[in-house]
Amino acid sequence: MKEVRGNQRGSAVAEFVMVSALLIAVFLAILQLTLALHVRNTLMDAAAAGARYGTLADRGPGDGVGRTQDIIRGALSDRFASNVQANAISIGGTPGVRITVRAGIPLIGMIPFAGEFVVHGESVRYG
């Protein structure tokens, strides 16, 4: 067995703890970034689907807002669906709908904490 010199006793345990803490912090940061991107992508998809729904022949912008909120509530939670707006717009001379979703960025788990995502979904009315 190798002999350990005087002041080096126990340093392997301290090094292990420091490196483990750093690796755990990096892992949790990557996990939280992944969660934030998931929330953003879900909001973008819900806004686009709501805009398409709001441009159907028998629907209006208000219906698109409801559809967007339903999708967000089903995929995420109610607090992400609280600020959804619809505007009638013109895209290349064709009437359409723009759905705007504003939601907090989740920094600790799914709790919207600081900053906000602002995403838009647009669609034109055919027919």
- One-character DSSP codes across 2-67: PPPPGGGTTHHHHHHHHHHHHHHHHHHHHHHHHHHHHHHHHHHHHHHHHHHHHTSTT--HHHHHHH
Q: Are 86 and 65 in contact (CB under 8 A)?
A: yes
Structure tokens that stand for 93 in this block: 């001379």
Instruction: Give the C-alpha separation, 83 to 23, whole Å.
Output: 37
pLDDT tens-digit profile of 91-121? 999 999 999 999 999 888 777 777 899 999 9
Residue 119, helix vs strand vs coil = strand
Compute mean pLDDT per 10 residues along the chain, 127 residues long, and list them. 61 89 95 93 97 94 97 94 95 95 88 86 88
Residue 127 confidence (pLDDT): 66
The reported pTM is 0.84
User: Residue 106: CB partners within 8 Å, gap ≥ 6?
Assistant: 32, 35, 36, 39, 112, 113
